[in-house]
Amino acid sequence: MTKFRILAEQSEFSIHGRSSLHPLHAKTNALDGFLNIELLPDNRPDLSKPIRGRLEVDITNLKSGNPLYDLEAHRRVNTQRYPKITIDLLDAREVEPLRRYHVTGNINFRGLSRPIEGELKVIARADGTFEVSGTQKLDSRDFGLDPPKLLGLKVYSDFVAELKLVAELVYGQ
């Protein structure tokens, strides 16, 4: 079994939403996690064996650049009670060898778990690390969050989560 760990300082999780007045963006690099995978002799993942991974996003560090927006977002999400989003990887299949993978898993946010699936792009970097990236459209109402409406400002419930991870080998077979 080969284990990889996330390099938080080179990784980023961001969300992109919309309101009736302007776009909304927030990001953090407060990420932690791992990927356990069997590798074939040519260093491709052995997808016939179980793949497991977990990503933890510390959303108490999610910042938009506007302290008032951040304060309200943290209050609405209740980051004191629910400080993290976790995503568990349960399965992957190759779409394009060593480049793109269709993945399935669960996302846990605000005490609710929902299935998630999407596509991740993987790039092997010259320094021996690899970069994983992808986007996923989500709806805040699926996690018990109704968007605010206040004085003519409407925040829409759909948003895009964007992920860029850099991971390094911790130990090999």
pLDDT of residue 172: 59
- The string of pLDDT tens digits covering residues 88-146 is 999 999 999 878 999 999 999 999 999 999 999 998 888 888 899 999 999 999 999 98
Query: Contact at 8 Å (CB) between 29 and 62?
Result: no
Both tokens of 29, joined, read 């690099």
Task: List the domain range (segments joined by +) for residue 87.
Answer: 2-171
pLDDT of residue 53: 94
- The string of pLDDT tens digits covering residues 47-75 is 888 889 999 999 999 999 999 889 989 99
Burial class (CB in 10 A: 0-12, 13-18, 19+), 128: exposed
Could you tell me the CATH number of the domain that includes residue 80? 2.40.128.110
Angle at 170 between CA 132 and CA 89, to 5 degrees: 45
Query: Contact at 8 Å (CB) between 26 and 63?
Result: yes
Burial class (CB in 10 A: 0-12, 13-18, 19+), 23: exposed
Q: pLDDT above 70 covers what percent of the chain?
A: 98
Beta carbons within 8 Å of 108's beta carbon, 6+ residues apart: 85, 86, 87, 88
Determine if the pTM surpasses 0.85: yes
Q: How many domains does the chain have?
A: 1
pLDDT of residue 10: 96
Query: Contact at 8 Å (CB) between 132 and 122?
Result: yes
Facing residues of 32 across strands?
56
